[in-house]
């Protein structure tokens, strides 16, 4: 009689020892270090902390962003993913709590008379002169419970990992908000740039049409040939064709904004004159370490990394014994009239089991090694996200500076070429310049004005992109 407890204790020790023999893992810690500054000058302010309604001043743009934040389908899809992640927490939490249920059942059983149970039933009276019924009915009603004791915190760690992934989905939503605001703003400023280019084309069509009329008059006075007239006509027609290309791009840009705002094609309200106003206030980058807290994509990567670490603990716990308890209590009888008689019809049970993997644990080992590989992968993804964020900010800071210098030079170029149009026209009328000089001057002036508009649009994009790179907009 003393052998059984020793035997059971020995088996438990073997199970625990085999559980402790887990494979060795490669370890890698995340490197969270970033340079101390973005440039040689320290900037204590940070534009990412400015709310987007204060960062963007254009009332039409603010209305568009508000509409997009409410109606954008992709953002609403992400909101549903947050609900899914939250429900996953509920499911994981329920796994380490006792499971309790109630039930009722009925059945019938017929055993052979010349069997052990049959012989017992035939020789036993329930009451004097009354035998067991044949076949034997069975009625039961009661409650039952099962519970896996979370002695190694396997289930709790699984729940905590689900919490981390839920937080990561929230940060993913915040990152999506930042992306959406930036995309709406960039498309809006592109639309303003196209409006200005369309106005430039219309002005050039008028200038070229006036020059064409002058050339026609000069042909009548035999001062130029038909070749000059045709060349001027060709230039007017080419510029008019550009007008329709710009109008098509305007339609496509408007509908890109409408798609982001979750609405069907319609005119986007805007003020084209706002494009040529002074650029917004200076952007402050702060210190690089602030992007770790400001950028939602970095925080999401960090939450996924923490979840991956918990997954390793969950996978390791599968090597150890699991302890389960099951119990039930209720009433059971072959006759409904006896069902609620107590204590005669009272039935209850309590059982516990301890089980651990002993042989052929390859599946558990594979899951454990995969969890570790996923954790190392999450470390690299986290470091990559930090590196990408720093480079984005660094690039945009230099982009803003270089675009400012380029815009100043292109402004001088446009001014010089605009003056040269009138000069070349006067020289042509006094026969001191040929028509090719006039045509080339007009073409160069048009291209320079287009390039100036493009540069201004790039400046607006850089101003938006640096706000996004710093992690602004979502809060």
Tokens of 56: 């963007």
Residues 35 and 106 in one domain: no
- pLDDT band at 279; cut points 50, 70, 90: confident
Mean pLDDT confidence for 388-395: 95
Q: Does residue 5 fall inside a structural domain? A: no
Residues 42 and 110 in one domain: no
Residues 139 and 158 in one domain: no
Q: Does residue 368 fall inside a structural domain? A: yes
- Of the CA atoms within 13 Å of residue 26, those in its CB half-sphere come to 9
Least confident of 28-42, 61-75, 239-253, 359-373: 28-42
Q: What is the pLDDT of residues 398-454, one digit of tens each?
A: 999 999 999 999 999 999 988 888 888 778 777 777 777 877 888 888 889 999 999
Q: Does residue 199 fall inside a structural domain? A: yes
d(CA 325, CA 390): 53
* Sign of the dihedral through C-alpha 333, 335, 339, 344: negative
Least confident of 75-79, 168-172, 339-343, 385-389: 339-343
- pLDDT band at 207; cut points 50, 70, 90: confident
Residues 350 and 428 in one domain: no
Residues 303 and 335 in one domain: no
Mean pLDDT confidence for 51-73: 94
For residue 351, give the CATH number of its domain: 2.20.200.10
The radius of gyration of the chain's CA atoms, rounded to the nearest angstrom, is 40
Residues 238 and 256 in one domain: yes
Residues 226 and 275 in one domain: yes
Instruction: For residue 202, give its domain range.
Output: 10-96+152-321+361-469
C-alpha closest to that of 88 among 145, 164, 171, 148:
164
Residues 233 and 126 in one domain: no
Residue 61 has pLDDT above 70, yes or no: yes
Q: What residue has token string 């996923």?
A: 374
What is the overall mean pLDDT for the chain?
87
Residue 5 has pLDDT above 70, yes or no: no
User: SS3 sequence, the chain?
Assistant: CCHHHHHHHHHHHHHHHHHHCCCCCCCCCCCCCCCCCCCCCCCCCEHHHCCHHHHCCCHHHHHHHHHHHHHCHHHHHHHHHHHHHHHHHHHHHHHCCCEEEEEEEEEEECCCCCCHHHHHHHHCEEECCEECCCCEEEEEEEEEEEEEECCCCHHHHHHHHHHHHHHHHHHHHHHHHHHHHHHHHHHHHHHHHHHHHHHHHHHHHHHHHHHHHHHHHHHHCCCCCHHHHHHHHHHHHHHHHHHHHHHHHHHHHHHHHHHHCCCCCCCCCCCHHHHHCCCCCCCCECCHHHHHHHCHHHHHHHHHHHHHHHHHHHHHHCCCCEEEEEEEEEEEECCHHHCCCCCCCEEEEEEEEEECCCCCCHHHHHHHHHHHHHHHHHHHHHHHHHHHHHHHHHHHHHHHHHHHHHHHHHHHHHHHHHHHHHHHHHHHHCCCCCHHHHHHHHHHHHHHHHHHHHHHHHHHHHHHHHHHHCCCCCC
Residue 105 has pLDDT above 60, yes or no: yes
Question: Do 199 and 115 form a contact (C-beta atoms < 8 A)?
Answer: no
Residue 102 has pLDDT above 60, yes or no: yes
Q: Does residue 2 fall inside a structural domain? A: no
Residue 17 has pLDDT above 70, yes or no: no
d(CA 464, CA 58): 13
Residues 299 and 380 in one domain: yes
Q: Does residue 302 fall inside a structural domain? A: yes
Please tell me the predicted confidence (pLDDT) of residue 192.
96
Q: Does residue 106 fall inside a structural domain? A: yes
pTM: 0.84
Residues 289 and 141 in one domain: no
Please tell me the predicted confidence (pLDDT) of residue 40.
66
Please tell me the predicted confidence (pLDDT) of residue 3.
45
Residues 169 and 229 in one domain: yes
Question: Do 129 and 80 form a contact (C-beta atoms < 8 A)?
Answer: no
């Amino acid at each position: 009689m003393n052998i059984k407890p020793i035997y059971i204790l020995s088996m438990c020790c073997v199970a625990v020892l085999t559980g402790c023999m887990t494979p060795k893992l490669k370890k890698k810690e995340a490197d969270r270090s970033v340079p101390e500054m973005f440039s040689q000058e320290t900037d204590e302010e940070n534009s990412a902390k400015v709310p987007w309604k204060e960062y963007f001043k254009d009332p039409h743009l603010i209305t568009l962003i508000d509409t997009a934040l409410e109606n954008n389908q992709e953002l609403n899809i992400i909101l549903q993913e947050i609900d899914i992640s939250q429900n996953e927490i509920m499911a994981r939490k329920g796994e380490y709590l006792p499971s309790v249920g109630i039930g009722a059942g009925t059945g019938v059983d017929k055993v052979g008379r010349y069997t052990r149970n049959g012989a017992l039933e035939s020789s036993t009276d329930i009451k004097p002169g009354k035998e067991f019924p044949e076949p034997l009915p069975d009625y039961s009603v009661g409650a039952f419970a099962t519970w896996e004791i979370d002695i190694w915190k396997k289930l709790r760690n699984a729940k905590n990992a689900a919490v981390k992934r839920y937080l990561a989905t929230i940060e993913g939503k915040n990152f999506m908000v930042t992306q959406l605001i930036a995309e709406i703003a960039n498309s809006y400023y592109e639309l303003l740039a196209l409006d200005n280019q369309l106005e430039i084309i219309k002005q050039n069509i008028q200038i070229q049409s006036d020059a064409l009329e002058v050339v026609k008059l000069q042909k009548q006075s035999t001062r130029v040939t038909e070749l000059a007239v045709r060349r001027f006509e060709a230039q007017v027609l080419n510029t008019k064709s550009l007008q329709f290309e710009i109008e098509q791009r305007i339609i496509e840009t408007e509908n890109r904004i409408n798609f982001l705002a979750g609405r069907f094609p319609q005119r986007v309200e805007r003020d084209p004159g706002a494009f040529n106003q002074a650029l917004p206030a200076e952007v402050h980058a702060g210190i690089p370490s602030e992007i770790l807290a400001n950028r939602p994509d970095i925080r999401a990567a960090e939450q996924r990394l923490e979840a991956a670490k918990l997954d390793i603990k969950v996978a390791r716990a599968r090597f150890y014994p699991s302890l389960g308890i099951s119990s039930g209590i209720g009433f059971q009888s072959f006759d409904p009239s006896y069902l609620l008689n107590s204590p005669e019809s009272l039935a209850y049970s309590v059982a516990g089991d301890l089980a651990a993997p002993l042989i052929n644990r390859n599946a558990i080992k594979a899951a454990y090694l995969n969890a570790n590989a996923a954790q190392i992968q999450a470390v690299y993804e986290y470091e990559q996200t930090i590196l990408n964020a720093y480079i984005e900010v660094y690039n945009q800071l230099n982009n803003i500076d270089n675009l400012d210098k380029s815009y100043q030079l292109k402004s001088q170029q446009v001014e010089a070429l605009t003056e040269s149009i009138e000069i070349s026209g006067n020289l042509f009328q006094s026969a001191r310049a040929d028509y090719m000089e006039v045509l080339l001057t007009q073409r160069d002036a048009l291209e320079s004005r287009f390039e100036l508009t493009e540069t201004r649009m790039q400046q607006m994009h850089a101003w938006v992109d640096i706000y996004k790179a710093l992690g602004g907009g979502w809060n």
